Amino acid sequence: MSINVRLFALLIPTLLLFASGTYQRAEGATAVAIGTASDGTKRYSWWVASTEEVAKEKAIGSCAGVGGLNPQIMMSTAQRGYGAIVSFDNGDKKFDFVASVAATSEPEAVHEALEKARAAGGKRAWVVTTWHDVVRGIIDLTSPTSY
């Protein structure tokens, strides 16, 4: 079998995928959930999805999966950007979490979360995680508003 035939055979699934319209818009929605574990410690989770509703559902499920009881959405957005979660304590050795989403840069996301921790009475803080919420996958390039 020639190289051209093999290459064409590899491209057929990709062509079928585009023809079937199973691509997605380059949307990035984020949700952050928080819950309290049975030992009283806080649990968090965050999720990026193509829609805000899916992100909320997945964040709540993920938080419950790491032991968060009765998880609630701390914040969510359908706007793309950077996010950060910061853990902090206010001197009583009880830890809590704050988050920022839809920031224009990672440093801005961290700064916003740290300011929230300070406003909540935080004495010490740790950046737990950061992210950029661009959904991975095939992106529709035929419409400039889709990416």
Model pLDDT for residues 115-147, shown as the tens digit of each residue: 999 999 999 999 999 999 865 566 666 655 444
Cα–Cα distances (Å) from 147 to 50, 55, 61, 101, in that order, read 12, 19, 28, 19
Rg (CA), the chain: 20
Q: Where are the domains of the chain?
A: 29-132
Q: What is the pTM of this model?
A: 0.72
Q: Which helix (H) or strand (E) holds 114?
A: helix 106-119
Which residues, at least 6 apart from 140, have a Cβ–Cβ distance to it below 8 Å?
A: 23, 24, 25, 26, 146, 147
Check residue 146 and report its DSSP letter. Answer: G
**Number of residues written out for the chain:** 147
- pLDDT, tens digit (0-9, with 9 covering 90-100), for 59-89: 999 999 999 999 999 999 999 899 999 999 9
